[in-house]
Each structure stands twice: as structure tokens, then as C-alpha cells.
Chains A and B, each alone.
Chain A
Amino acid sequence: IEPPEKPLQAEEWNRLRESFGSPEIFEEVMFNNMVRCNSPIDVAKSLLTHVAQSNGDVAYNLLIKYLALCVQQGQTSEIHDVYDIMKIRFRILESGAYNLLIRGLSNSDQWRMALTLLEEVKKIMIPSRTNYECCIKAASCHQEMNLAFELYHEMLAKDLVPTLDVLQAFFDFSRGMKGAELQKELFGILLYLRENQIYPHKTFMRSIKLWFESIPGGNWRGHLTSIKDSGQCPVCNHQLEDSDLTEEEYNNLRERIIRDVIHGTDTFRKTSPQVGLAHCTGVKVFPVSLFLQLRKSLVLLCFLQLFDAVNCLAKENARLLVLGRKHMLVNSSNWKREIMKEMQNKADFFFAENISEDDAFLLYATLQSGKHCKFVTRDFLRDHKACLSDSLTRHLFRKWQRGHQISKKMFLSVFIQQPALRYDCVIQTTGDTWHIPYKDTFEEKYSYRVPRKWLCIQQK
């Protein structure tokens, strides 16, 4: 049913209600439609009046829906009235009402009221991140940056993840403002992005750039650029951080992978320990620098690929270890024995049990061989990443993967090597320069793709 355009009299509502299929939910449906069509608030009021006069009471869910309509249209005084009524009528309010109230009030000149509401919410539960966001935006919009940052830190302390929107608001609203403290806080946000390997999108990047350039007396200049393969910034000739992990990080990651991924809760789940052991000793014998790995899917293609890949990499004088399963040794139409023999001359092979997971071996062998060792697979190893228990190690894993995985593009050519990145794709600074990778669009489709575009900011 379509909501009427004008306020109706009681009997008119009655008639509408009777014509509706199920009269018991008529008001609810009507209010939902009003919110959807953004009807004038007077119509909603007239319906409320009708309900109040016929029942002597308005149910909580109708009040909420009316509130939603008021918030949608920014009717501050109405929001206040509804809040007063709710306060009188009900002992406490639930999260839905608070969300609406905070959102409605933070956009008005009574935004401080939203802060008191936030305090109220804290008494009964942990406020949601949107609650914080509304308050932070309101505070920074009114140039109360200290308050905004206080809320921001409180939010982080409660393990809530801020959206890029809020972070962008910080940069937008502190444009042209002075203060070492403020500057430190905003650098803190950039470091937060770095630590969590979050890339800003284009408009966010623009806000950052404008903020830097607006710092009074800072003399910052920003340029959009893309980094050379060697890891050098073409604008300021600065060499970006390389993708190698530090010794400590590397050892840490290796231990965690062995503990969480390969052994996991049960060594027998991924493989069996005897095989693992045999493999360990095998690895210590060869200092391999490159690994190849086979996937069981697309066997024929993979086989041709494997042959090609082994040949191609052997020419580069790399030490190769090819991981496979025992079934590959059986002569079949897919796995020709002669070609296998030929390959075995060029590379070392290891064949695991048919039922054990070869990815785990791949990880183990690569990590055991040392930091210089790289591996080839087109698997993204997501399920192994998921086995790692904390996000910090996961980030290390991603970083290591970016630097050490050589992936192949399928179909276009059988083996085009996609080299591992030499530099680390993450927000970085040297004090007088900042390099910020950014995404072209707001929603980048693939999470495994790292941005190729950079913002270079340097101080003159």
C-alpha cells in the first residue's frame, strides 16, 4: 500500500485499515512504507494520533519507526520529543532506538546531546561502531578535534574497527589546522593503516594529500605516481622498504606456521608425522631456492605447465624442488614416465602421500630453506592463512607471501612468471617523505591484489 500524501482523519485511517488485507499489522506496514517513500512527517503524525486515540497508547515499534522517519528527514525537535516520550514511557531504551537518536542528533546543532546518549549506551552495552562514528564526525565537524580523537581512541580500545569514512573525516576536518598534537594524531592514523595493511581509496587519498599540503609552514608536496619495479619512487628517487621480513619476524612467522598450520591441533589432520619428519631431513639436505608445486586439479594442463616451468626455471640456474604426490609416479596418460624422468634430472622431487596436503609441505620447505627461498603456486594459501591464530601473524604471512610467492597467470600463457614484489606495498614514511599506496576505486574487487598507484608526499 502506498502511504497517503496528506494527513488523514481518524475515520479515513480506519477505512484504509479495513481495506488492508491483514488489519493487525496495518500500522507497521504503513510506517515501513512511509520510511521507504520518505513521506511527509505530518502524515506519520496523523497516523500516530489516530493510533493513540483509538488504543490510548502507541507501541514501541511504531515509535521507533516514526523516529526513523524523523531521523531520515532531520527533524531535530521531533527527535527530541520522541526521546522525551520514550524516556517517560520506558525504563530503558534498546540499541535500535539509541542508534537512531545518536544518528539524528549528531547531524544537528544539538550534537552534544548525542554524546550524552553515547554515555547512556555505554552503561548498558558496548556502543556500536556507527554510534562512535556519528559522534566523532559530529565533534570533528564542529572543530572539536581533541574530543573526536578521545572518542576514536576509546573506540579502538574497545576493539571496534573504524571505517575509512571516519578516518577520512579526520583528515577533512583538520585541514589547515595547526598543532603538533593534532599532527601526531593524524600520523597515528596513517600508522594504523600501515599496521593493518589497509589501503585508502582514491577520495581518501585526496583528503590525505590536501591535508598534508595545507599544514601551515609544513611545505609538504604530494604527487601521484607509480613505483618502479626496482622499488624506487620516480618523484623523489627514494627507495621503498623491501619486502623482506626482519630476522626476528621471519623466525616468528616460521615458528607460528609450523605450530599452527602444519601441526595445528592435530598433526595427523594435515599429514602424518613420519612423512613430515622424512621431509624435514630432506629439506635440510637441499638448500633449495625455488619451489614448484603441483595442484591436482587441471592435471593435464598442469603437467605441461610443470614441464615448461621446470625448464624455464632451470635455465636461470635455480635450485629446484618439486613437490608432488605419489600418484604422479605411476605411468599414466597424464603423467608420462619419460618426461618425469627428464624433469627429475633438472630438479629434486619429493612425493608426498596421496592423501596428505602438499601445501603444508610447501610452506614448511620454503620456510626451512631460509629467507632467500621462493615458491611457485597459484594457490592463494588462504586456508593456511586462516589457521594462523592472530591477525599480526596473518599480516606477516601476507607480507612474506607478497615477497616470496611467484604466481602464474593461467590461460594467457602457460608460464608467465609474475615476479614477487621487491618492495613492500604498505604505507611508509622516512620522516620527511610519506609513500601511500591507494586503491583506484572504493571497492576493489580482489583482496589479494595490491595497489600499483602511490601517493608520494615530500617535505621541501
Chain B
Amino acid sequence: MQSANVLLKKIVRSSVLPFAAQHGMKKDLFPLSRTLSLSPCLKQDNSRSPSEKLDLDAWKKVMKSGLQEEVSETVSERKELSALAAAREILEMWRLAGRSVPENISEEQLKTFMDCPSKSAKKKYLKYLHLKELHKKNDKRKMEEKRERRLETVSKTDETRSKSFVCLWANCMDKAYSWRVAQSMIFGQPLVFDMSYEKDMSVREVANTVRQIVLSESCNRRSLDPFHIHFCNFKDDSLYHKEFIKHYKEAWGKLLITVTDQCYTDVFPKDKLIYLTADSPKVMKTFDHDKIYIVGSMVDKSIKTGVSLARAKRLGLETAALPLEKYLLWNAGAKNLTLDQMMHILLTLKDTGDWKAALEFVPKRKHYGFVSKPVHELKKTLNLINTLKLGKRQEEVRKQFAKNYSRKLTQK
């Protein structure tokens, strides 16, 4: 700020001084001035001769003049504007006004935009599209940079050999993974995804769910001892189905998982099922290799507490929650984890039975770290802190209580 001021003064001095001196000489504006100090000079700045004065409204002329031809064009076009085109124009104006609006918007997105029920919903949707566009652009730029770099390096080395080797290797790995999963489909432990939450979710949430399931399926495929994945309550032509096809394309038919529209209670014996839900009052102690765990495939952005617990209660199933409190010092965020995190945790538990290793997959931002001491000791210290904090007040309450109580006794 200050440097700018100094600079400003410098500019004024350097530009005005010679000019003022010149005119002063001619028009006798400064009879005394051969030794001008800065401050009168600044004052003089405004009272220059009118011909030299800034034309403050010059910009209006510029704006009005340059566009006469265009105006005539736009007037003729203006007659009929469909709702879509009008929306598109508004978006364009918002973009010009500097709001976060995507540059390009497809017909479909425009329709979704217009169907948004409220102004804030519209704003949110636009922002989402805008960010998506930015990410896409960034990715594209990075890809191009990478390609250029690769072209440089490849030209130096022998390209054909390295390429075919990679190809072969990837192919082999794919085959090996497939063998493993095929094996698990016969002998492996089942893991059920409950696909009955479609009506509890928005379209975006369903899309996110499917994305998470795709991630979990891939990490299951890569693991040493995969689960046999079941999609239960899966309806054909549901939103889930459409999203899956969007992700897998033709591979959807070849996936090594079991998809059924039956409920898990029809497929498996009821006493073996355990529904995993963060709302469960029971905490999982160990991973049981004989049980069949159910994970609700639901992304719950608006925290609808107890939806999956209700489902388990209705069917009379056992429920369990991960022992997050027991092993982690929880910081912030909801206790429900994403499906792929869940899958990682379950796979690790299955392989090692080590809670600490498994709970490494809980996002770091959600907790402070692992609990080092036994929990009851920690709780004791917590209680101590609380009583220290509240100590005085509690004492007061107790006294007051005693007083009141005795008074009431004497009254009656």
C-alpha cells in the first residue's frame, strides 16, 4: 500500500512538474513558482487547462460506438428464445459477471440445471459443473505434458520391446487375478452389498455409490484372498444398473461376482448374517470367517441416521459396527466410511486379523491417531479433565440440591 502511494507521488511529480512549469511560464498560473513543493503541485494537478483535462465519460462513447452493427443483428435474433437458449444466455452472463459457471454446458446438463428446485440448488449445481470442468482441463493439460515427456524418452530407448513386455505382464496379471476371484467364487467367503437403498439417495449419491463399489471390486480382485462378492436386492434397469454399465461397459457381463434380485436372507441362512452399520449398538470384536457380512451400498451425504439399522432390525439380523472408538481417538467427521475403505478394512482383517493394520484405511483427517493406552484409562483422564472443568459448578449444584431438598421436606 505504502509503496504504491510513494510510487503514485513519484508519478505525479515526474509527469506534472515539467508540464506545470511549462504552462506556468506561459499563462502565469504560478507567478511565484520556480521552487514548487510537492503539495501545491498535487493541488494544481486538477486545475489544468480544460483541453488537457481527462474526459471522464470517454468510455461511454467507446462502448456505444463500437457496437452499432452488432446491435442490428441481435435485434433480429431476439424474437424467439426458447427456454433452453434463454438459460444458456443467463449462464453466459453469469460467467461474464465472474460467478463460478462452466464455460461449456451440454443440453442434458442445462436441463438438469433448469429442473433444480431452488436458486441455491442451481448455484450448487453450476459450481459443481464448474469445478468438474476445471479438473478436466487440468487433467488434460497434465496428460499432454506427460505425453510429450514420454515421446522424448521413448525416442531414446528401444520402444517396441518395453511396450510388448508391459502388455504381456498386465495381461498375465489380469489372468492371475481372474483365477483367484473365480476360485473365491467357489470356496471364498461371501460379502454382500445390499443394493436396496436407491430410493434413499439422490442421483448424485447413487453415482458416487457405484463409483465406490467399482473401486472396492477392483481392490478385492487384486487381493490375495478375495471375497465372493454378492450384489443382493439388485433390480435390473435400476439407477444402480445404469451407472454400473456406464463404468464397466461390456465388462459388466463378465464380472466375477454374483448379482441377484433376491434378498440376502433368501440366499444365506439368517443366523450367519451380520449387517455392518455405523449406527449399530454392538461393536465388532473380531472378524469371523464363518459369518457373512453385509454392507449397505449407500452414500449418505445428508446423514440419515439409522436407515440401515432399521433394515437390519426389520429382518431381525445381527448388526455390528467397526470398533473405531476403541482403537482410534476420533477427531471429526461421521463414523460411516466409504465402501472402498470398508472393503480395504475387511480384506485386511480377513488376511491378518490385525485391527491396527486394518484401521490404517480410515482417513487420517477423521482421527488424531491410534489409542495407545487402554480405553478405560483414557476415559478416566477425560473424566478428570471434565470434573476439573465443571468441578465448581457441580459442587454448586450439589449444595443447591441439598438445600432445596431439605426445604421441601420441612415444608410438607
Contact = CB atoms under 8 A, between A and B. Distances in A.
Interface of A: 1-2, 4, 6-7, 9, 11-12, 15-16, 19-20, 28, 42, 45-46, 48-49, 51-53, 56-61, 64, 81, 84-85, 88-97, 124-125, 128, 266-270, 272, 301, 304, 308, 311-312, 315, 354-355, 411-415
A19 B2 CA distance: 12
B45 A94 contact: no
Given A7-B54, A49-B56, 18 more contacts: A6-B46, A7-B56, A12-B11, A16-B8, A46-B56, A52-B58, A58-B59, A88-B64, A92-B89, A95-B94, A97-B93, A266-B307, A266-B310, A269-B307, A270-B306, A308-B404, A413-B400, A415-B404
30 contacts: A1-B1, A4-B8, A12-B8, A16-B4, A16-B7, A16-B11, A20-B4, A51-B59, A52-B59, A53-B59, A56-B66, A57-B66, A58-B59, A61-B98, A64-B97, A85-B63, A88-B67, A88-B71, A89-B63, A90-B93, A124-B86, A266-B307, A266-B310, A266-B314, A267-B310, A269-B309, A269-B310, A270-B306, A301-B397, A308-B405
Given A59-B96, A90-B93, A308 B314 contact: no
Interface in B8-61: 8, 11-12, 15, 45-46, 54-60
Contacts of A94: 90, 93-94, 96-97
The A interface is mostly helix, strand or loop, or mixed, namely: helix
B289 interface: no
Contacts of A301: 394, 397
Contacts of B404: 308, 413-415
B80 interface: no
B396 to A, nearest CB: 7
B59 A49 contact: yes
Contacts of B4: 1-2, 16, 19-20
Contacts of A89: 63, 67
Contact of B313 (A12, A46, A53, A268): A268
Contacts of B93: 60, 90, 92-94, 97
B366 interface: no
Contacts of A92: 86, 89-90, 93
5 tightest Cβ-Cβ pairs between the two chains A and B = A268-B310, A52-B59, A94-B93, A60-B96, A45-B56
A12 B15 contact: yes
A1 B404 CA distance: 65
Of B15, B93, B307, B401, chain A has the most CB atoms within 10 Å of the CB of B93
Contacts of B380: none
A414 B401 contact: yes
A94 B15 CA distance: 41
Interface residues of B, number: 56
Contacts of B90: 92, 94, 124-125
B155 interface: no
Contacts of A48: 59
A430 to B, nearest CB: 40
Contacts of A267: 310
Listed residue (B54, B55, B59, B93) with the most chain A CB atoms within 10 angstroms of its CB: B59
B372 interface: no
A309 B406 CA distance: 14
Contacts of B393: 411
Contact of A91 (B60, B78, B307, B309): B78
B5 interface: yes
A7 B55 CA distance: 10
Nearest to A84: B64
Contacts of B400: 411-414
Interface string B281-320: 1000000000000000000000001110111011000000
B412 interface: yes
Interface of B: 1, 3-5, 7-8, 11-12, 15, 45-46, 54-60, 62-64, 66-67, 71, 74, 77-78, 86, 89-90, 93-94, 96-99, 119, 281, 305-307, 309-311, 313-314, 393-394, 396-397, 400-401, 404-405, 408, 412
Contacts of A58: 59, 62-63
B58 A272 contact: no
Nearest to A4: B8
Contacts of A57: 62-63, 66
B63 A61 contact: no
B11 A312 contact: no
Nearest to A270: B306
B401 A308 contact: yes
Contacts of A52: 58-59, 62-63
Contacts of A354: 281
Given A11-B15, A45-B56, A64-B97, A91 B62 contact: no
Contacts of A311: 408
A268 B64 contact: no
B58 A6 contact: no
A56 B62 contact: yes
Contacts of A6: 45-46
A49 B54 CA distance: 9
A2 B59 contact: no
A301 B398 CA distance: 9
Contacts of A42: 56
A61 B310 contact: no
A155 to B, nearest CB: 15
Given A60-B97, A92-B89, A53 B58 contact: yes
A89 B63 CA distance: 8
Nearest to B280: A355
A90 B89 CA distance: 10
Nearest to A12: B11
B55 A49 contact: yes
A116 B93 CA distance: 20
B86 A85 contact: no
Contact of B62 (A53, A97, A304, A411): A53
Contacts of B46: 6
Given A90-B93, A96-B97, A9 B54 contact: yes
Contacts of B306: 269-270
B59 A45 contact: yes
Nearest to A3: B4
A61 B59 contact: no
Contacts of A2: 1, 4-5
Contacts of A7: 54, 56
Contacts of A45: 56-57, 59
